[in-house]
């Protein structure tokens, strides 16, 4: 059995990337059909171009934040290489299972001589901080009255519970045993190395970094709406808060690669159609912008990694 696995292992990576490419192309095709009938003027194309650039910058920023998280666990790929690995693997989140981007990052750290268990801790902490950041941004916006709902009492209670959960959830006494349990490795050396790594305090700097990532993405979302309709200053916080909640649910709901479907439905339900009459087209268009940004960033990073290896 081991001999068979050894023989097919060189081809397994290409099979996985082939599957990712297939689902990526299918997703782009589906979203393109949704927005093909939308008419965009010259100013709208400028807004979309800015949305694409800002979204690419958001992913580069997120890759940089991941290198901070690696440093917390005493692992390092270097800033440039860490960002490239992050961007190349990021596109794999659209594959079924929604785990291959994590696997790619863990494997990259292990190839550089790092601890596979510690690398696993880093990819577990990253989405936790992302979720906490998106939740906090969404709750603050909602609490200031920027996101109106019909369930005021329930929302207030949810805000209180969620804010407490955010504060307690990233407390080292809770995170350390949770992440160690989730990162249990069959390799005893990796498991021991992971157990030896402890968060000494709140991961404040990476948490603030993930807040920056969510805000970057929210700006791209807002610019996409501005390509299709005029947006007032009072509507901007509502767009940001709706994006944060929608993106959060897309992140945490299982079985939704890249949050496909979940993000769109949540955004539709949170935005007021009377204020945002283009919401269906804009949300579909944003998904297309987001995927293109990830594909462009991954393609450029892959080319540089390949050039380095050939050089």
- Work out the pLDDT band at 48, boundaries 50, 70, 90: very high
Residue 231 structure tokens? 């947006």
Q: How confident is the model over 238-260, as pLDDT tens digits? A: 888 889 888 988 888 766 666 66
Q: What pLDDT, on the 0 to 100 scale, is given for residue 256?
A: 63
- Work out the pLDDT band at 118, boundaries 50, 70, 90: confident
Q: How confident is the model over 157-216, as pLDDT tens digits? A: 665 676 677 667 677 777 777 666 655 555 555 555 555 666 777 888 999 999 999 999
Q: What pLDDT, on the 0 to 100 scale, is given for residue 78?
A: 84
Q: How confident is the model over 128-161, as pLDDT tens digits? A: 889 888 888 887 776 654 455 444 455 556 656 7
- Work out the pLDDT band at 310, boundaries 50, 70, 90: low
Q: What pLDDT, on the 0 to 100 scale, is given for residue 252?
A: 80
pTM exceeds cut of 0.85: no
Average pLDDT over residues 31-48: 74
Residues 6+ apart with CB under 8 A from 50: 223
CA distances to 232, 254, 299 from 90, in Å: 33, 17, 11
Q: What pLDDT, on the 0 to 100 scale, is given for residue 151?
A: 42
Output the average pLDDT for the chain. 77
CA distances to 40, 86, 91, 190, 212 from 58, in Å: 24, 12, 14, 32, 8
Q: What pLDDT, on the 0 to 100 scale, is given for residue 125?
A: 86
Q: What pLDDT, on the 0 to 100 scale, is given for residue 188?
A: 55
Q: What pLDDT, on the 0 to 100 scale, is given for residue 249?
A: 83
Q: What pLDDT, on the 0 to 100 scale, is given for residue 109?
A: 87
Other C-beta atoms closer than 10 Å to the C-beta of 229 total: 15
Q: What percent of the chain has pLDDT over 70?
A: 67
Average pLDDT over residues 258-279: 80
- Work out the pLDDT band at 5, boundaries 50, 70, 90: very low
Q: What pLDDT, on the 0 to 100 scale, is given for residue 265?
A: 82
Q: What pLDDT, on the 0 to 100 scale, is given for residue 220?
A: 96
Q: What pLDDT, on the 0 to 100 scale, is given for residue 61?
A: 97
57 versus 259: which is more confidently predicted?
A: 57
Q: What pLDDT, on the 0 to 100 scale, is given for residue 216?
A: 95
Question: Looking at the chain, how many residues does it have?
Answer: 311
Whether residue 31 is predicted with pLDDT greater than 60 in this model: the reply is: no
Average pLDDT over residues 9-22: 53
């Amino acid at each position: 059995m081991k001999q068979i696995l050894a023989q097919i292992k060189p081809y397994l990576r290409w099979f996985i990337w082939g599957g990712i490419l297939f689902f990526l192309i299918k997703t782009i095709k589906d979203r393109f059909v949704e927005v093909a009938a939308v008419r965009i003027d010259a100013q709208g194309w400028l807004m979309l171009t800015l949305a694409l650039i800002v979204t690419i910058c958001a992913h580069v920023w997120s890759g940089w934040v991941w290198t901070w998280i690696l440093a917390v666990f005493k692992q390092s790929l270097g800033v440039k290489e860490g960002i490239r690995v992050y961007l190349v693997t990021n596109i794999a989140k659209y594959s079924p299972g929604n785990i291959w981007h994590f696997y790619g990052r863990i494997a990259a750290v292990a190839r550089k001589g790092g601890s596979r268990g510690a690398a696993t801790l880093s990819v577990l902490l990253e989405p936790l901080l992302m979720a906490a950041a998106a939740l906090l941004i969404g709750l603050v916006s909602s609490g200031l009255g920027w996101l109106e709902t019909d369930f005021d009492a329930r929302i207030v209670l949810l805000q209180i519970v969620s804010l407490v959960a955010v504060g307690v959830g990233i407390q080292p006494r809770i995170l350390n045993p949770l992440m160690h349990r989730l990162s249990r490795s069959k390799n005893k050396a990796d498991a021991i190395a992971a157990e030896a790594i402890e968060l000494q305090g709140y991961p404040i700097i990476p948490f603030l970094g993930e807040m920056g990532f969510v805000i970057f993405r929210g700006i791209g979302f807002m610019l996409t709406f501005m390509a299709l309709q005029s947006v007032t200053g009072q509507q901007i916080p509502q767009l940001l808060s709706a994006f944060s909640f929608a993106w959060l649910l897309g992140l945490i709901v299982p079985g939704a690669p890249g949050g496909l479907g979940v993000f769109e439905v949540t955004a539709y339900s949170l935005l007021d159609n009377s204020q945002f009459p283009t919401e269906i087209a804009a949300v579909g268009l944003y998904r297309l912008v987001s995927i293109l940004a990830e594909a462009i960033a991954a393609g450029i990073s892959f080319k540089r990694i390949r050039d380095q290896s050939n050089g």
